[in-house]
Amino acid sequence: MGSMAPSPAVVSAPDSDQSNSLHNVFVYGTLLADDILRVLLKRIPQSSSAVLHGHQRFSIRGRLYPAILPVVNERVTGKVLFDITKPELDILDIFEVVEYERRAVEISLVDGSEKLPALTYVWRNNVDPNLYGEWSFEEWKKLRREEFVELATRFVEELQLAEPKSDVAIYDSFYNIERGDITLID
């Protein structure tokens, strides 16, 4: 994991279709894990520790991944991925399911050297009763990372099919059919 990009990437509008644009993407949950990024993007992008002010990270009942929502006077620590290509952004968009909305935000590098524009994924339902407490990356790494690597691998395999299932269907089939007895993090 690198500490800083040689120069900040230019972030285009969230719905831009410029194939040669590079994007900064702020991640705060499962995408903090290099092995997940390697499965999804086939590489580990250069990154730097970063903070998103005015947001809070939550656990989600029945899910292995967190959500963030705008909350005044709160902050989310994570990292910014530099130089994400349009095809990579498309993969992240699909992976982040319909429950999230990609938004343009301003993040601060942890070392305080600069503020940068970035894209991130914000939970769509700001009154979701399944959101609670603080999601822990360290706890997730210990208890659920291997399962999530398998899920991400199956997701990528599914994307390569002629008629892939939705990412929600992949998630549901992985946890409900093959592991009906699994207890998800609550």
Backbone φ, ψ for residue 85 (5° rounding): -80, 165
SS3 at position 119: strand
**Of 76, 84, 129, 121, nearest in space to 101 by CA:** 121
The one catalytic residue in 96, 134, 138, 163 is 96
Contact 82, 45 (CB under 8 A): yes
User: 151's torsion region: left (phi>0), alpha (psi -120 to 50) or beta?
Assistant: alpha
The yes-or-no answer on residue 96 being catalytic is yes
Burial class (CB in 10 A: 0-12, 13-18, 19+), 54: middle
Catalytic amino acids?
A: 96
